[in-house]
Every structure is written in C-alpha cells, then in structure tokens.
Amino acid sequence: MRIDKAVIRQMKLIFKTGFRTSFGNSVVKDFLLVELTDPEGRTGWGECSAFMRPWYNEETTVGARYVIGEFLLPALLRAEEVESPEKFYDASSWIRRNRMARSAVDCALWDLWSREQGVPEWKALGGVRTEIESGVSLGIEPSPEQLLRKIEKYRAEGYRRVKCKIKPGFDIAYLEAVRREFGDIVLMADANSAYTLKDLDLFRRMDELGLLMIEQPLACDDIVDHAQLQAAIRTPVCLDESIDSTETARRAIELGSCRIINIKVARVGGLTEARRLQALSAVHGVGCWCGGMVDAGVARGHNIAAATLPNYVYPNDIPSSDRYYAEDIVTPSTFIDRNAKIQVPQRPGTGFEPAWDVIERHTVRTWEFTRESVRESAS
C-alpha cells in the first residue's frame, strides 16, 4: 500500500438535541476527517473523535490536527510502501498517547487496505458476525419522568438495551424509576467518572437494581480504586476512559478492576489496538463491547467493523444514522431493525462511501498533503 495524497477536513455538525453527560452538554460536534488516496485513486477514510474541549480525555480537535498533519501524514507520505495498517501503527508508536489522532489514521488505513484487498473491513480484521446488536445511550434528563418518556420512544424503535448517563443527584431515583416502569429491561448506568469510593453505599443500592453493568464510575485514569469497588459490589464494573491500551487493560484485569471493558476504537488508538485488546480480554474471560463518541458516519462504519470481532459480546453504542444528526456524511445510512440489529456491510472497506454534498456543506477548513509537498517542507 502506498499513499500519494492525504486530506484533513475540519467538520462541524449540529446535534439534533443536546447530549448531556456528567462532564457537560454537547450541542455541536467539531471533528476531523482524514482521507488517504493511493496511486490508483482508491480512498480510505478515518474520523478523529476528539472534542474541541479536553473534557473526555486530554486530546482536542486542534491538537489532534497538529499531530496528524505534522507527524502521522508526513510519515505515511514519505514511505515508499506501507506493508499493512498494523505495521504502520507499530512504527508510529513513538508518538506518546494522542490516541484519537492515531486512530483517525489507523482507521483510514484499514479502510483503504481492505478496499485494495477487495474484502470488507470487518473480514480483514477477523470479524465473525454479519449483524451486530445496538443499544441506546441516553443523556442526563431534568427529571426521571422525562427519562422514562425518552426510553419509551427508543424502545418503540427497537432498542432493547438502555444506557442511562448518571451523576450525583441524577442517579438512583432515575434508575429506580426505569426499573419500576419497564421491569426487566436490559439496563446499565454510565457515570463518566462522576463518583468516588465515598459513594460505596450508593453503588450497593444500585446492586439491587439488576444492572447489566456500571460504566466508569470512578476517576477517568484509575484502575486501583475500581478494583476496591468491584470487590465490594455484585454489579459488573465496566471500564471506559481508564482503558487506553492493551497494556492498561492487562493491568486492570490482573488487579480485578473490572469484569467488562468498553472498547472505543478512537480512545484506544484505532482498529489495530481494538483488535488486540479484545483478544487479550477474551483470554481472561472479560467481555467487551463497542462504545461511541457521538460519532458521525465514518467512525460509525469503523465501529461496526470492530463490533464483529469475537469478544465483542454485549450490545454496542452504535446507533442509527439519524440518532444524533439530521444528515449523514456517508451513504448508505445505517438503521437498526426491530430487534436492534445492524446488518454488517458486505462491500470492500467499511462498505460506506462519502456523501460529498453533505461533507462539503459542513466542512470548515481543509489541509491537503502530497508526497511532493512533504518533500518540499522537509528541505
């Protein structure tokens, strides 16, 4: 595989409605698209999920653009041959952290590489499913009653697993209301690091609600206190922000910090690391699932491919195309069926193509790189 041209696009999409978590309310999605082109004109696409503000992790849209444009793309364009996405991922591992920036390029390479091979991306990764199950992720609502109406709406659309965002003051009463209203619905809570071990009594009350899991209850970089929490409660702890690599996952599993891992492709550095992480987790009996970053269509396509891997065993946060945004930046759009399933594309690459009219209307700025421009900048 050889890369002759690369383009970074800064994009802006407006949410249909705000999405509130414990760390803030999102109304606009500022993100980056990365396009890689080979000598035959085939293209691969990646999406950078970093936010404009460093409130999910330390990365931002501006910082990711710098890392992609100053380091990752020049390295690709200077290479005479890229043997595989995995080889490039390992060769660029000298870049510390900046995993969302690395993910955008890694995913674009997987898309292009699988198109060149003439196979679907999920098959190139080693996926085993032709359909995946999705759950719905709901933001924090002003009242339990409003949350119940939201759940009612999404259950009518086919979603079976419901994830409720929680934070102090917006937690146990909400979850209890959901359990009373909807009985044995598959229910989980996502705290986005809003609690500490001082809240142990609260988590023991949640034990009585039969939750599928509690996601990232404690600090975003912690695996020690989570081990203490998991030992004290019956409900499985699922780690999200704390797990940024296969090596971190190994440590967390050995400590007993969790029983489930949410593998967000963007958070761990791309499809290469996501594949390695789910394989390691399988060896230790820790189940995984694919989380999302209120993604647009390019990242959603890569998430679908990741969710076909063998140890992605729980419903995923991969919603229909119209969940967050009025317009999809890829075609065809994705929709769940009445059983909350998404059929996995069978075409080469992710199976999706750019919706150019939508992309052009929502592009804020572009940066273009060629083999010639990279040589000139280095001289």
Reference 226, options 235, 218, 234; nearest CA is 218
Amino acid (1-letter code) at residue 111: D
153 tagged catalytic: no
Give the Cα separation of 260 and 335 in Å (integer): 26
Token digits of residue 101: 């920036």
The Cα 69–Cα 254 span in angstroms is 37
Give me the pLDDT at residue 48, please. 98
- In angstroms, rounded to a whole number, what is the distance separating the alpha carbons of residues 131 and 340? 10
Catalytic residue chosen out of the listed positions 5, 29, 163, 165: 165
In sign, the C-alpha dihedral spanning 299, 259, 279, 254 is: positive
pTM value is 0.95
Selecting among 16, 150, 264, 341, the annotated active-site residue is: 264
Is 264 annotated in the active site?
yes
How far, in Å, CA of 138 to CA of 314, rounded?
A: 17
What does the alpha-carbon distance between residue 64 and residue 70 come to, in Å, rounded to a whole number? 10
Quick one: pLDDT at residue 378?
73
Nearest to 162 by CA among 142, 197, 133: 133
All residues at 6 or more sequence positions from 14 whose CB lies less than 8 Å from its CB, including other chains: 27, 28, 29, 325, 326
pLDDT digits (tens, 9 = 90+) for 182-192: 999 999 999 99
CA atoms within 13 A on the CB side of 79: 19
How much is the pLDDT for 314? 97
Residue 19, pLDDT score: 67
User: pLDDT under 50 in the chain at which residues?
Assistant: none
The total of other beta-carbon atoms located within 10 Å of residue 322's CB is 13
Q: According to the model, what pLDDT value does residue 195 have?
A: 98
pLDDT computed for residue 24 by the predictor:
66
pLDDT at 379: 61
d(CA 294, CA 11) in angstroms, rounded, equals 14
